[in-house]
Amino acid sequence: MFRKLKMGATALTVGLLAAACGSGGTGGKNGVIEYWLWDSGQQPGYQKCADEFAKENPGLSVHISQYGWDSYWSKLTAGFIADTAPDVFTDHLAKYAQFVDLKVLRPLDDLAPTADLQDGDYQAGLAALWKGQDGKRYGAPKDWDTIAIFYDNAALKAAGVDPATLQDLRWNPQDGGSFEKLVAHLTIDDKGVRGDEPGFDRDHVKVHGLSSEGSGGAGWGQTQWSAFAASAGWQATDKNPWGTRFNLDQPALQDTLSWYYGLVRKGYMASYSEIGGANAIGTDKQIQSGTAAMGLSGSWMISTFTKLTDATGKKLDIGLAPTPIGPSGKRASMFNGLADSVTTLSKQPENAAKWVKFMSGEKCQDIIGESGVVFPARPAATELAVAFNKKDRNLDVTPFTQQVTDKTTFLFPVMTNAADILALMNPRMDAVYIGSAPVSSLTGLNNQLNDLFKVAQ
């Protein structure tokens, strides 16, 4: 399997390089800049930015295309091969390193409009993530995100739980600490017995205390187990970005995952089949349907959660709490950030760079902040998003922002060979989640991942 994956990646590399060096791609024409993004919630805000950009740049306009997450990346890859890629697209840390290797991204330093981007204009550490191993910048920061706990206030009230107690939860891999006690209490079987009461039937659960978003193999456990593992002192690679040795064999991770997936065996968290297998329904849908009382999710989901309604159409009362404090004595959250990149296939790279510069500038960032959908990359624009949530949604979003203030975040792993890593990790993590493979099997996976870099060298 390892060789087949490497051959597949090589074939893709050849195809993409041929496209990048070929006819030059389509992209936008006659001053129309083609821009792709995947988040439908952000499209209205960026359309406002596009309208402002057109006013400031006579003769230029932006055409925005939005695609769902899965189809977005497959369509983008096909676009690189078939010369139909856009001028600019929203990029992700899990993807961009491989795109750099395949030479389908233009260094922004080499384009006049973006040559003077300054790291200090953005949230600390965000801009540096988009610099490749060659020191070139391949993305202009657009927003950032962290992880927190979303919960249904009605479920907590019915359980006699004061929401204030969620601010100081602790966990450990031995007995789960106060966090697991809460999860157990919020779990209810089909006879109305709670998970911490005698007679609880773990095989017939009506409401799980904690939602599940799958095994986490596709994104380093971002909204699943990453906050727990990191608060136990674990990190994915020897260094980040550009790590070359993996740490999936370390007890800090394997003990964490034994506990985390053990919540499924106890009935406190949904099984693989209950959430729809590989096509897992999200925490928002589980809370909305009443099959989960709370769950970890990202700040990009704030807008979605605040629009949730019950079966009668009544708006749900959603609350937020920070991730629990772990064995390290600190809480933790993955810190991820998106950026906008210019493709090598663009026939108007300077115009594309103007649009990228505008999106990362104050005017567009403020527009996005005022929409309250995400936290923009610029600190002042982030404050606008915080204020919007407080005023318009009556929601305190500090469980997300405090992690940054307190410096309890850790970076999304950035490394080469991302496609091959995903192909190896996802099925193995699924197997551990399902229970068909032991957590100790991650040691073998770790060796496979390390071998990827040995072959590359």
- Of 205-209, 274-278, 363-367, give the lowest mean pLDDT range: 274-278
Residue-wise pLDDT for 389-432, tens only, equals 999 999 999 999 999 999 999 999 998 888 899 999 999 999 99
pLDDT of residue 120: 96
- What average pLDDT does this structure show over 247-268? 98
pTM above 0.85, yes or no: yes
| Alpha helices per DSSP H over 195-335 | 226-231, 251-265, 283-289, 302-305
Whole-angstrom CA distances from 214 to 93, 222, 334 are: 20, 11, 17
For 447, half-sphere exposure in the C-beta direction (CA atoms, 13 angstrom radius) is 4
pLDDT of residue 62: 98
CA 420 to chain centre: 19
For 257, half-sphere exposure in the C-beta direction (CA atoms, 13 angstrom radius) is 30
Record the tokens describing residue 19, joined without a space.
């496209």
- What average pLDDT does this structure show over 296-324? 96
For 157, half-sphere exposure in the C-beta direction (CA atoms, 13 angstrom radius) is 7
- What average pLDDT does this structure show over 296-306? 96
pLDDT of residue 368: 97
Q: Is the pLDDT of residue 445 over 60?
A: yes
Of the candidate CATH numbers 1.10.1040.10, 3.40.50.1950, 3.40.50.280, 3.40.190.10, the domain formed by 147-334+416-456 belongs to: 3.40.190.10
Q: Residue ranges per domain, the chain?
A: 2-144+340-393, 147-334+416-456
Residue-wise pLDDT for 100-157, tens only, equals 989 999 999 999 999 999 999 999 989 988 999 999 999 999 999 999 999 999 999 9
Tell me the residue type at 248.
L
User: In 3D, which of 199, 170, 197 has the Cα closest to residue 185?
Assistant: 197
Which helix (H) or strand (E) segment is 34 a member of? strand 32-37
Q: Is the pLDDT of residue 16 over 70?
A: no
Neighbour tally for 407: CB within 10 Å:
10
Q: What mean pLDDT is reported for the chain?
A: 92
Round to whole Å and give the CA distance between 227 and 331: 7
- What average pLDDT does this structure show over 287-308? 96
Record the tokens describing residue 104, joined without a space.
């389908």
CATH number of 2-144+340-393: 3.40.190.10
Identical fold between 2-144+340-393 and 147-334+416-456: yes
Bigger pLDDT: 382 or 456? 382
Residue-wise pLDDT for 167-204, tens only, equals 999 999 999 999 999 999 999 999 999 999 999 999 99
pLDDT of residue 18: 42
